[in-house]
Amino acid sequence: MKTLRMTLNGNAVELEVNEARYLSEVLRGELGLKGTKIGCNEAECGICTVLVNGTPVSSCVFPAFKAHGAVVETIENLSADGNLHPLQQAFLEQGAVQCGICTPGMIMTAKALIDDKGASLTEDDIRTALKDTYCRCTGYRSIVRAILQAARGEMSDDSSPASTSSPVGKPLPNPNARAKIDGSARFTDDYDFPGMLYARTRRAGVPHARIVSIDTAAARELPGVHAVLTHEDVPGHNRHGLVIDDWPVLCDDKVRYAGDAIAVVAADSEEIAAAAIDLINVQYEELPVVGDALQASEPDAPLVHDGRSEGNLLKHIKVAKGDIEAGFADADVVVDRTYRTQSAEHLFLEPECSIGIPAGYDPGEFGGEVDASAVRGETARHDKTSIYVGSQIPYQDRDQAAAALGVEPDAVRVVATLTGGGFGGKEDITGQIHVALLAEETGRPVKMLYSRQESLLVHPKRHPTVIRMRIGARKDGTLTAVQATLYGDGGAYASLSEKVLTRATTHAAGPYETPNVKIDCFAMYTNNAPSGAFRGFGVTQSCFAVESTMDIVAEELGIDAIELRHKNALDVGRRTSTGQELRESAGLRECIDKVAEEMREQGFRWSWESGDSRFAWGIAVAYKNTGLGGGAADKASAEIEVWRGGENRAEVRISSAEMGQNLPGVLAACAAEELGIPVEKVHVLLGDTDFCPDGGATTASRQSFVSGNAVRLAAEKAAANDEEHVLVRYDYEAPQTRPLGEGGDMHFAFSFGAQAALVEVDMTTGEVHVHKVIAAHDIGRALNPLTLRGQVEGGIVMALGYTLTEHYIQEDGKPWTSLMARYKMPSIEHAPEIESHVVEHAVAAGPFGAKGAGELPSIATSAAITNAIYRATGVRVLSLPVDQDELLRACKAGADTVELGWGNLEPLPDISLGGQI
């Protein structure tokens, strides 16, 4: 310990500090300034940025004593007087805040820039200064707008009226944004409870092995360790899973991927817990590894799950329509290609964190009390086992934890904290069950925060796929047949593979009417990290394949790529490949027209050369279901409480996850609209299973529609009752759907979109830059144009990363991508100009006509970019992500395709259409 002196946020501070601490730890720990967030502890993500002597530094690798004698400024200083700094105000007005975890670091980095450059700063200055301050939600465009606005001292455009009645369709900021901007918003790791212990998990480290023995004696004896749990200590069901319960809470017989949990430890500090997990001695008998989906499907492949008659086949998903052979016989042109897509990581910037509180917890016992401002009801009681977590499905967290604890579901309470990004990656269980078990075992609160590296290792990824796609068309461009075979790597556990790959399959023929369709998809177990939900939910992968192939069909037929798509586009009266007739709300053709019109306005050319670069446009279209579909009951229950008279306010309660997409704003608008009160008078309480009815999973672009309807209808009922105090609950069930294979409506709504990308390929390096994306999306109705734009821009940039920069690499079940430094998501330097158009073909059953918007913007982008690369270079990219090395060599060699993509070392074997397992 040594005395650290600094000037912190204008005040001289002096404190005794462990000399091994980093500045981030001292700020968040000793000084309690939780506004500074930690994303990676690698100096990669930049969200921990604070200013030291006016200069942005990554506080996570900045030793505290480096700041000795320095002037340090954190987010808490910017609005210390209660007024937002102009930069904060601009972030609020421009919707530059979504999940909010990066916001403090982003604002501090930007503040230093504005202090340095003032009003003269340019967009280039912003790109340079913010290069290493990452945001996973916004796509950066709103951040650029906000910084320019603040630097120029501009007032906002008209967009946020002070009091808003009739808020639906108005560009209002997310109600949570203010707290995220001033640093007061709390994510799970920002909570502390008296007596709290810290937990770590012992990971398998090997991808496939039989467990011979687990010896925890040495770990138990380490001073400061309170509990060490293995599978023997799980009182209830030692499995979890959202579809199939095949995922061990703590491994018993086998480990099936390197991130498997063997044991968990709770200790007085993270250091002790970390030391303890290293003292656990696990003996393995290593087994042969199943490294990918094609290997998994070989007849002699080792079994990931013993004793399954289907072997490694998790599910064979089929779509069949018409007569596929007749369809190809009828075609003048048949194009047949095989594509490969990579595993991808969500890289939400808040790593997973859970806190478990034991039933009957009394903070007084530990000489403290719980901060009353934290979460409602928190001081009143922890009479149940409680779990604080920022996840996507509070009720399923609750039910799965209860099953493992061996108690009834309502003996567990899940309190949903703010979620620092999810994108599908926080649907499965991570630490929720472990902290509940440890809390009950120790009788104390237990926090488990994953390191970035552990997060990379453990949570489910996007499915890597191999897709063979064959399309037949007549000379006039009419599609006659689409056949595809997909292999999806589901990884070690089922997670949502069946659902994700069903979506990949049903959407594989694209948003077109085709009389003859045959799609076979094989979801396979392997020893890789499980694959699960990720924005786009399988459609991202099959869209890349079908939209690349459509471009080739257009070229072979000599038909304009836009015209070919327009001709075959789904529309009202046409049928999807699962046989669903669209009766309303199918605005794809308008989206295509809108994008084409915009492209043509600009002295349109498909491609041109300039200096060492070639420029070209590419186009792709997409559709995406709203809601679960496939016959699943899609329900949400909402409660609304209204206080009239002088108060004239309401509270909406529903258990659903806000990840930054602005669910609270949308729900508040739905309620306010029906109640006829200003939107600021509606408070939305999300995700406390003791206070909020179940809104269902935040997945499948379903919340605005399903929970939006539940709230709207609850509010409608409340509006009809003119008593002073009204409490209404509404249980909404979305329109009935039909299972795949039965025909009829598989989904109650689809959103449609078209995107065009302007790409530059540097012919000296092979580097690809996306300069501009023009997008048009039919999402039924824009409930909030400001936050919808955030979804569109964020989705497009996320997809750009999937196309150009991201690959979660696993080698025989061992992740090479073990660090954030080995996984590059797009930075502000990658973010293109985005022109977003909204097409509103209302869906009658949607709230005010709305359908889903969360996933659609991230689907068509990949093919739009690779189609542009083809027009620029003549080289067709069949594998993601695009590799500049391979692309350049192909260009130099005059080759017409690239087949590996970055991170793949081996070419694909041939796969047969129809496939067989």
Partner 1 sequence: MSVMARSSSSRWENYYTPATAAEAVEILQRYDGEARVVGGGTDLLVETRRGLHKPVSAMVDVTHIEGLGEISIEDDCIVIGCGVTHSQIVRDARIIEQGSCLAESCGVIGGPQVRNVGTLAGNVAHALPAGDGTIGLLALGGEVEVTGVDGSRWMPLEDSFKGPGKSFIDRYREVLTRLRFRPTGAGEGSAHHRVMRPQGLCLPIISMGVRVALDQANVINEARISMGPVGPVPHLAEPAMEVLVGGPATETQYAKATEVALQNVELRASKYRATREYRELMVRTFLPAILQRAVERAQRGTS
Contact stretch for partner 1 (CB under 8 A) within 507-515, 678-686, 863-871, 887-895: 887-895
Contact 784, 171 (CB under 8 A): yes
Q: Which stretch binds partner 1 (CB under 8 A): 372-380, 482-490, 545-553, 822-830?
A: 822-830
Which residue of 283, 892, 897, 907 would you call a contact of partner 1, by CB under 8 A?
892
Strand (E) or helix (H) holding 872: helix 861-873
Q: Is 271 in the site for partner 1 (CB under 8 A)?
A: yes
For residue 368, what are the contacts with CB-CB under 8 A and spacing of at least 6? Answer: 193, 194, 195
Residue in 233, 268, 560, 690 binding partner 1, rule: CB under 8 A: 268
Contacts of 272 (CB under 8 A, 6+ apart): 198, 222, 223, 224, 225
- In the complex, the smallest distance separating the C-beta of residue 198 from partner 1, rounded to whole angstroms, is 7
Q: Is 478 in the site for partner 1 (CB under 8 A)?
A: no
> Token pair 């906002």 is at which residue?
156
Among the listed ranges 544-552, 635-643, 751-759, 880-888, the one in contact with partner 1 (CB under 8 A) is 880-888
List binders of partner 1 among 105-124 (CB under 8 A).
Answer: 109
Q: Which is nearer to partner 1, 28 or 384 (CB)?
A: 28
Neighbours of 555 (CB within 10 A): 16
Give the nearest distance from C-beta 195 to partner 1 in angstroms: 12
Provide the minimum distance between the beta carbon of 545 and partner 1 in the complex, in angstroms, as a whole number: 21
Is the Cβ of residue 582 or residue 890 nearer to partner 1 in the bound state? Answer: 890
- Rounded Cα distance, 726 and 649, in Å: 11
CB of 275 to partner 1, least distance (A): 6
Residue 300 CB, shortest distance to partner 1, in Å, is: 28
Residue of 616, 560, 614, 555 whose CA lies nearest to 592: 560
Q: Which stretch binds partner 1 (CB under 8 A): 50-58, 178-186, 289-297, 856-864?
A: 50-58
Pick one of 21, 305, 683, 738: the residue that binds partner 1 (CB under 8 A).
Answer: 21
The amino acid present at 545, given as its one-letter code, is A
- Please provide the distance, in angstroms rounded to a whole number, between the alpha carbons at the two ends of the chain: 63
3-state secondary structure of 448: strand
Candidates 21-29, 180-188, 834-842, 867-875: pick the segment binding partner 1 (CB under 8 A).
21-29
Closer of 41 and 230 to partner 1 (Cβ): 41
Size of the residue set binding partner 1 (CB under 8 A): 70
Interaction of residue 371 with partner 1, rule CB under 8 A: no
Candidate list 219, 500, 734, 888; residue touching partner 1; CB under 8 A: 888
Across the beta sheet with 261-267, the strand order is 225-229, 261-267, 197-203, 446-449, 353-357, 385-389, 412-416
**Cα(108)–Cα(24) distance, rounded to whole angstroms?**
14
In one-letter notation, the amino acid at residue 601 is: E
633 CB-contact burial (10 Å; exposed 0-12 / middle 13-18 / buried 19+): exposed
Q: Helix (H, G, I), strand (E, B), or coil: what is residue 704?
A: helix
Rounded to the nearest whole angstrom, what is the least distance from the CB of residue 132 to partner 1 in the complex? Answer: 2
Shortest Å distance, C-beta 868 to partner 1: 17
Interaction with partner 1 in 56-85: which residues (CB under 8 A)? Answer: 56-58, 61-66, 68
Q: Residue 40 or 715: which CB sits closer to partner 1?
A: 40
Rounded Cα distance, 525 and 511, in Å: 29
Q: Which stretch binds partner 1 (CB under 8 A): 28-36, 93-101, 135-143, 355-363?
A: 28-36
Our finding on whether 128 is near partner 1 (CB under 8 A) is yes
Min dist. Cβ of residue 577 to partner 1 (A): 34
Stretch of residues binding partner 1 (CB under 8 A), selected from 143-151, 558-566, 700-708, 820-828: 820-828
Q: Does 822 bind partner 1 (CB under 8 A)?
A: yes
* Tokens 């309470």 belong to residue: 413
Cα 417 to Cα 187, 394, 420, 668, 894: the distances in Å are: 6, 10, 9, 18, 54
2 versus 725: smaller Cβ distance to partner 1: 2
Q: Which is it for strands 897-898 and 876-877: parallel, antiparallel or unpaired?
A: parallel
Q: How far is the CB of 913 from partner 1 (least distance, A)?
A: 31
By CB under 8 A, is residue 897 in contact with partner 1?
A: no
Site for partner 1 contains 193 (CB under 8 A): no
* CA–CA distance, 534 with 427 (Å, rounded to integer): 9
Give the C-alpha separation, 247 to 427, whole Å.
Answer: 14
- Does residue 233 bind partner 1 (CB under 8 A)? no
Q: Are strands 333-341 and 465-473 parallel, antiparallel or unpaired?
A: antiparallel
Rounded Cα distance between 24 and 189, Å, is: 13
Over the window 443 to 472, marking each residue x when it contacts partner 1 by CB under 8 A and - when it does not, the resulting string is: --------x---------------------
What 3-state class would DSSP assign to 728? strand
Residue 266 C-alpha from the chain's centroid: 29
Nearer to partner 1 by Cβ, of 708 and 826: the residue is 826
| d(C-alpha 20, C-alpha 14), whole Å | 17
Question: How far is C-alpha 306 from the chain's CA centre?
Answer: 32
798 phi/psi in degrees, rounded to 5 = -60, -40
* SS3 assignment, position 552: helix
Minimum CB separation of residue 458 from partner 1 in Å reads: 15
Say how many C-beta atoms besides its own lie within 10 A of residue 756's C-beta: 25
Query: Which of 476, 556, 885, 896 touches partner 1 (CB under 8 A)?
Result: 885
663: helix, strand or coil? helix
For tokens 């002295």, what's the residue?
603
Q: CA dihedral in degrees (33, 37, 40, 41; nearest 10)?
A: -20
Sequence-separated (6 or more) residues with CB below 8 Å from residue 113: 121, 125, 126, 129, 130, 147
Q: Which stretch binds partner 1 (CB under 8 A): 20-28, 84-92, 320-328, 868-876?
A: 20-28
Q: Which stretch binds partner 1 (CB under 8 A): 173-181, 266-274, 376-384, 682-690?
A: 266-274
Peptide bond into 832 cis (omega under 30): no
Among 275, 557, 895, 913, interactor with partner 1 by CB under 8 A? 275
Complex with partner 1: residue 486 or 890, whichever CB lies closer = 890
Under the binding rule (CB under 8 A), the answer on residue 884 touching partner 1 is: yes
Strand-pairing partners, residue 776, are 754, 837
Question: Which of the ranges 382-390, 495-503, 655-663, 801-809 carries the binding residues for partner 1, by CB under 8 A?
Answer: 801-809
225 binds partner 1 (CB under 8 A): no
Could you say which of 189, 489, 641, 694 contacts partner 1 (CB under 8 A)? 189
**Residues 453, 60: contact at Cβ < 8 Å?**
no
Residue 670 in tokens: 């739905």
Out of 96, 97, 106, 129, name the contact with partner 1 by CB under 8 A.
129
- Exactly one of 9, 41, 174, 662 binds partner 1 (CB under 8 A); that residue is 41
Q: Which x/- pattern, by CB under 8 A, does the window 827-856 give for partner 1?
A: x--x--------------------------
CA–CA gap between residue 131 and residue 133 (Å, rounded) = 6
Which single residue is written with the structure tokens 């604002």?
107
Binding site for partner 1 (CB under 8 A): 2, 19-22, 25, 28-30, 41-43, 46, 49, 55-58, 61-66, 68, 109, 128-133, 189, 192, 198, 268-271, 274-275, 451, 764-767, 804-807, 809, 816-817, 819, 821-824, 827, 830, 881, 883-885, 888-889, 892, 902-903, 905
